[in-house]
Amino acid sequence: MNISAFLIGVATAFFAIFSLHILFWNRHRTRFQTVLGIIMAVWAVWCAKDLITTFPDMYREDVMRWIFIIDGWSALSYTVFIHEVVMPGWTTWRRLALSALPFGAFTALYAGWPYTEVIYAYAAFLWCYGWTIVIVGWVKMQRYLRYVRREYSNIDRVDVLWLRPVFFFAIVGQLAWLFTSLYASVVADIFYYVGVILLWLLVLHYSWNFRPLKIEDESASETGSEDGVPPLEEPLVANGDSEGVGVTSIPPLPRGKLERVVEEQKLYLHPNLTLRELAEALNTNRTYVSNYLSQVVGQTFYDYINQLRIKLAAIPLVTQHPEYTFEYIASQSGFASMSTFRRAFAKYTGKTPSQYVAEVCQERTPRLR
């Protein structure tokens, strides 16, 4: 019980500190960070209420059942978090109230009819609700990933691949919570609090600098925003704006024109190149460019530009100047981060940058006879 009480205090302090840091000390926070800070504050209260179980004669079945009923509401925090990642702006008071209706119904039902059958029905509901969150979140995550790879060449601050381990961790954690709630024990509680802290540490680590993008129609998503990837500082070409031009009024792209323009103008060296800016350089619209890349080139915009950065910039620099640092090579090749550079390099060459440099140096070293 002493260890359990200590971990409850640690969990409460953990969530309280991060909520205070996000909501009061981070003055330039985004909407997503504000929502995350509120979630941290709610979890701090949820953990603090468990301190009642450490009082004498309070680790009883009736108390644990009420804690189970209240803890079930935490599923709403996962709902809000997942939707704010893949659908920023989703959370409203109306949606939150509608989502909370079944939780309120079960809470009221147990208050008037405190029997085991209600607890098991509530547990079954939480099981179904949890899997619904996972399935819906996974589908929306895949849609979001397709969108950012179709529209942006730099997705370091908007990528959501980090959600995959979070989904796995959350599933395992919630299953453990469900088991420990129905079959309460001090040892199980200890594992639960450790798991909760690790789960949200993982979330905070990956989402600290995350800037979600709202998936809208093309006209709404073509302008830079606080939560999106900023546009280039200068336009790529000095042509007219193609906004408002219908697809039927612009001829399709001739085969090879896109590749020629991108390579001749070295557009791939722009770290924040977007599909919209490439379309402007080609005097066409994004729909034609996106369709051309997927149907003719066979790649997404993200993969195509990063492959050119490796093929036309990074590899020549590595080959001619193996003494250069990888950070310098990455920046000169149009990459905004080392992680993207390493992934793209390994995907194109099948080797890490270090392995590639080692092979280049070995080939240049004269063999002794």
Which distant-in-sequence residues (6+ apart) come within 8 Å of 334 by Cβ? 153, 268, 269, 270, 271, 273, 305, 309, 313
Q: Note if the pTM is more than 0.85.
A: no
Q: Whole-angstrom distance between the N-terminal and C-terminal Cα of the chain?
A: 73
Tell me how far CA of residue 50 lies from CA of 24, 104, 135, 174, 265, in angstroms: 25, 20, 30, 17, 62
Q: Are 149 and 300 in contact (CB under 8 A)?
A: yes
Cα atoms in the Cβ-side hemisphere of radius 13 Å centred on 84:
24
Per-residue pLDDT of the chain (369 residues; tens, 9 = 90+): 677 788 889 999 999 999 999 999 887 888 999 999 999 999 999 889 888 877 777 778 888 889 889 988 988 998 999 999 999 999 999 999 999 999 999 999 999 999 989 999 998 898 889 888 888 999 999 999 999 999 999 998 888 888 888 887 777 766 666 666 666 666 777 777 888 888 899 889 888 888 888 886 544 444 443 344 444 334 343 333 334 344 444 556 778 889 999 999 999 999 999 999 999 999 888 888 999 999 889 999 999 999 999 999 999 998 888 888 999 999 999 998 898 999 999 999 998 998 888 887 776 655 443
Which top CATH class is 233-364?
A: mainly alpha
Spatial separation of the C-alpha atoms in residues 309 and 293, rounded to whole Å: 16
* Radius of gyration from C-alpha coordinates of the chain: 26
